Structure formats: structure tokens, C-alpha cells
Chain A
Amino acid sequence: MVNTDNFLSVSHLNISFNGNTVIKDLSFNIKKGTLTSFLGPSGSGKTTVLRAIAGLNQTFAGQIMLDGQDIANLQPNQRNIGMIFQSYALFPNLTVFDNIAYGLRVQKKSKAEIEKAVTDMLAVIGLTQRRDYYPANLSGGQRQRVAIARSMVLEPKLLLLDEPLSALDAKTRVELRNQIKRYQQELGITMIFVTHDQTEAMAISDDVLIMSAGELEQQGSAMDIYANPKTMFVADFIGNHNVLTATDLSKLGLVANQTDGQYIIRPELLEHVMPANLNGYAAIEGQVVELAVLGNRVEYSLKTATGHIVKAECMNQNINFTINDHIKVYLKVAEIKKVG
């Protein structure tokens, strides 16, 4: 019996191209039925790992187990893994129906089975009316939905999505992001979603795996990673945190006698309205030097008398200051977190 916590198990994966090691001793497990995001900057090796799992890059060292089976030496067409490309990779000469039916036809399913499966899938992605359209006649979001349906109709053990939203406009991105999450939950498919957008990863994932320069930095739930980053890279990449040393904290009058190391303060924890009870709170005073209204939220920066720039944010509705004002912000001292 396969442990569902280790549905996909990658152990000691090493990948080199032309003598350069791009993936260094990478090991991780993925639970069955979850959506895991690979998050990291461009060039961190996310897509390379994805291609190794899919069998599109077979020159690697290490072990890849899927559902208890070692798949490292299997061809891509023997793995039962679906993959969605950033470019959609739809077949331009085939209609929406024929694109989705491609894999079923390869499996030599009967006409009736193909008709039913594709029609059902078209209903799931909301493109029943577009079944006879060619990819060239669809919008970017519609094309990506067809690409997702084409893979999902085969009920793959694992579905890999390689930056599937990056070519889309902001509104469509959010819509499709939520749809992907809905498909995943309704169909119970295990998915890996590659992105360099931390908001996207946070919004969609059960689990997030952060990569940098071919190495795993941290794996955990989105909330856990955001609240407790283990490395400076994660703290810097995942949120807009204030990163301070023990000396900085002392100078700002927040806490004294901290052990050496680096500390983070999340910007949304700095409150510009004085709390009713100041017990356990410290205040930071400074001049507002940056102010950005982002719809429902406001991001701003204070310059303190010590010369530190402190980033903070709040909801838009009760903001009572403007640029160049001198204000105080309040922080629960217990919320200051040491990195690592």
C-alpha cells in the first residue's frame, strides 16, 4: 500500500547541462490529491525538475517514484503524467474537440467513449459552444482551458502545470487560477503548479515548495512559509518583509539584547491606529516617504530618525495620513520573528 503522503517522491535528484549542475541533490515528497506550487525566481530550476518528472529530460541522477512505481526510466508516454505548457502547445490543425480527444484516440477508445468523455470535459471547462473552433479562434484563457482539459480527460496520476498563466492578462489569470483550483478539488487530481508569482502560489496551493539556484529552500503550507520563513531567501522572496538585525531592533527601540541574526517584521502587522491597550506593543515613529494606494490596500514606508526605512501596509478605508506626515505605527513585539 502506497503512503499517500509520498504519492510523488523525488530523492537526491541531480541534473547537469554541459557540466553545469542546475539541480543539486533535490529531495521532496508530494501528497496525493493536493496542489503543490513550485515557487522560485527565473532560472531556479523549477521547469527542469518538472521536465524530469514528466520524462522529457531523462539525463539525471536520482530516483523519482510515482504511486509506488519507479518511473525514472519510463518514456513520457508510459508515465500517465499530464503537462500543461506556458505556450498551450495546442495542435493548430485540430479543433477544440479533436485536441481534447487526441489522447483518447491514441488509447484507441471507442467513438462513443470519446464523444462522452470530451463532451463532459467541454462542459467542465465551459467551452461546449466552442467544440468545433480551431485554437487560432480562441482567446488565450480559452486556449489554456482546452490544454488543461486535453490532459485532464486522460485522468492522469499527476498533472504538471508549467507557468500556465504567465501569458494571460491579470483578470484572466485570477479567473483561470481559481478555475484550476476548482478542477483540482472536483476531480481530485494531484497537481504541481510552477510559478514565479508568490501571490499566485499562495492563493492556489495546499503546499508550496520554494526553490533557489537548483536547491530546495523550504517546503510547507503557504501560511507556514509566509509566517515562518526558514532562510533569508524565502523571507525576501515570499513577502515584502522588513528584514532587520538585532542592532537595528535595538536602535529602533523595539527590543534590546537580542541574539545575533536576522529578524523579520511583516508589513501588515504595523498598525497606524493606536491600540486600546498598549501592553506588549512598541511604537516606531517616522515620516511617510512612500505611499501607494493599491485599491483596497495602501502600502507605505516610514523613514525613522535613525535612518531606517520601515515598510508597512493597511486597509484603505480609515487611512488618516498622507505623504510627508510624521506618524507612529504600533507593533506587537511578539510578532518579531527570527529567520531560521
Chain B
Amino acid sequence: MRAHSVDKWLPRLIIILIAIFLLGPIVATFIYSISTVWVKTILPSGLTFKWYGVLTADPDFIPSTLRSLILAVAVVLITMLVFLPVIFYANVYNPKLKEKLRYLSILPYSIPGIVLVTGLVQLYGSLPVPKLLILILTISAICLPAFYQSLNNAFMGDDFQGMFEQAQLLGDSKLGAFVRVVLPNIRAGLMVGLLLTFTTAFTEYVITNIFLTGQYETLKIYMYRLMNTNGNAASVLTIIFFIFLGIIAFILIKIVSSQKRSVKE
């Protein structure tokens, strides 16, 4: 009986401890973002939303947000226009290429950011190509694993070669068959892949900061700079980041669960 009781309560206790461990800093950051002063006391001296006003009034806030957006949208476009057709081709027509892609997609995990940046500077630093473009291409490559895996799963369910060829036999062009038949049937995997790509690019810090030596200040770089000058405003930005990622996670969960429902039907 006693053992049964421990079996019941121990997992719950562990989960509660993990939840406190994970949520504690977020709650503390939020409280710090709305506190007037919180130094050497257990609780803040007072509460205020003025730091939200201070952050949004900062002339660097909107430009850095736009820079992050530009970077993320450019990476998403490259992913759609370059990686998507390649992953489709590898999955449907060339399993050997798929194997190579699988290994290639693991590479960004195994190469530390600093090594990647050093290599990039040496290889492309002297080329007459805008560094921002090289940065966008590099981040696109870093986003490949998540995008590749999301799409790979999407291609597993159906006979996409048969469907793609059938659409052409029914009179459609290759592009028409791809847009009208392939894309709607990988919609969920594609959306998940693109959202993961967007968030990875939007929140990227290491490579952007080192490769462009702070000249292209994204929201993440701005956040780290803010930490040294105004802790409360930096907390506000952290909370905004958290809410933004929370919304993306919510959309991802919705997409995945809606796909499951349609399968059950």
C-alpha cells in the first residue's frame, strides 16, 4: 500500500519540481519587468509598466525588430524556394540523394557556431558579396535540419511520385502538379518546418553577432546589449520574446493536432 502511494506521488512531485525550475525564471523575469526597483530585497519595492513604455520608445527597438524580421523572412523564402524542391526531388525520385541530405542536415549540429563563423570569414570575407547575403545563406543552412525533418515526415505517408505523375497525366504541368497536388498534401509538415525555420532565424544570435561584428543589430543582439544598460527593459524584451515563441508553439501544436484529427476522420 505504501509502495503504491509513493508510485503515485513521486512522479507528480518530480513534475512539479521541473515546472518550478522551468517557470521560476520566467515568472521572476516578468516580475522584474514590472518592478520599480528590485535590488537586495525579497520582493520588489513597487510595480510599474513604465519599462514597457521605455523599451518601445527606444529608437533602436523597432529597427532591430525589423532587422530580425527581414532576416527571418529572407531565410524562410530561401528555404521555400531552394530546400523544398530539393527535399521533394530527393524523397520522390532520388533516395540516394536523400541519404546524402540526411547527413548534410546533421552537419550544422556538429559544427560549433564559432568554427562556422571563422570558416565563413576566411572563405567569403574577401568576396565582393554583401555579408548580409552570406549570413542569410548560412542561417538558412542552419535551419535545414528542422525543415528537412518536418518535410521528410510529411513525404512518408503517401505515394507522392504517383500523385505527381498522375496530375501530369491528367494534363497538368510539373509546376501545376506541384502546387495543386504536392503542396496541399504536405501542408502540415511544411507549415511546421517553416515556423521552426522562422523562429530559428528570428532568434539567431551567435553567428549574426560574430560574423557581422554587431553591425547588423537584430532583436536578440539588441536584447543582450540592453541587459548591460537597463535590466528592466531587457526583462521586458525577454517577456516579449517568450510570448512570441509561445504563440508560435501554440500554432505548431494546433497544426499537428488538426492533422491528427483529419487522419482519424
Residues on A close to B: CB < 8 A? 54, 56, 75-77, 81-83, 85, 87-93, 102-103, 106-107, 134, 136-137, 150-151, 154
Contacts and interface: CB of A to CB of B under 8 A. Distances in A.
A87 B169 contact: no
B170 A102 contact: yes
A77 B180 CA distance: 15
Contact of A150 (B170, B184, B185): B170
Contact of B168 (A77, A93, A137): A77
Nearest to A156: B169
A137 B265 CA distance: 8
A85 B166 CA distance: 8
Contacts of B171: 77, 103, 106-107, 154
Contacts of A54: 165, 169
Nearest to B170: A103
Interface string B169-200: 11111001000010011010000000000000
Given A76-B165, A89-B165, A91-B163, A151 B170 contact: yes
A83 B161 CA distance: 13
A77 B172 contact: yes
Contacts of A150: 166, 170
A87 B92 CA distance: 14
A77 B185 contact: no
A106 B162 CA distance: 18
Contact of A81 (B162, B169, B173, B265): B169
Given A91-B181, A92-B185, A106-B176, A77 B159 contact: no
Contacts, number: 66
B172 A85 contact: no
B158 interface: yes
Contacts of B165: 54, 56, 76, 83, 85, 89
Contact of A102 (B162, B167, B173, B263): B167
Contacts of A91: 163, 166-167, 181, 184-185
Q: Binding site of B, secondary structure by majority: helix, strand, loop or mixed?
A: helix
Interface size class of B (residues with CB under 8 A): 20 to 34
A82 B169 contact: yes
A89 B162 CA distance: 5
Contacts of B162: 85, 87-89
Contacts of A103: 170-172
A54 B184 CA distance: 25
Contacts of B181: 91
A83 B162 CA distance: 10
B158 A77 contact: no
Contacts of A136: 263, 265
Nearest to A87: B159
Contact of B170 (A75, A85, A92, A106): A106
Contacts of B263: 136
B169 A83 contact: yes
A75 B265 CA distance: 37
Contact of B159 (A75, A82, A85, A154): A85
A87 B167 CA distance: 14
B167 A75 contact: no
A296 B153 CA distance: 49
30 contacts: A54-B165, A56-B165, A56-B169, A75-B168, A77-B171, A77-B172, A77-B173, A82-B169, A83-B165, A85-B165, A89-B163, A89-B165, A89-B166, A91-B163, A91-B167, A91-B184, A91-B185, A92-B158, A92-B185, A93-B185, A102-B170, A103-B171, A106-B170, A106-B172, A107-B171, A136-B265, A137-B265, A150-B170, A151-B169, A151-B170
Given A77-B170, A89-B162, 15 more contacts: A54-B169, A56-B169, A77-B169, A82-B169, A82-B170, A85-B159, A85-B165, A87-B159, A88-B162, A89-B166, A91-B163, A91-B166, A93-B184, A102-B170, A134-B265
Nearest to A150: B170
Contacts of B167: 91, 102
Nearest to A134: B265
Contacts of B184: 91, 93
> What are the nearest 7 A-B pairs in CB distance?
A89-B162, A103-B170, A87-B159, A89-B166, A106-B171, A76-B168, A93-B184
A58 B167 CA distance: 17
A154 B168 CA distance: 13
A77 B162 CA distance: 14
Contacts of B168: 56, 75-77
Contacts of A154: 170-171
Interface in B64-103: none
A76 B187 CA distance: 26
A181 B163 CA distance: 25
Nearest to A102: B170
Contacts of B173: 77
Nearest to B160: A89
A81 B158 CA distance: 23
A154 B172 CA distance: 13
Interface string B234-265: 00000000000000000000000000000101
B159 A89 contact: yes
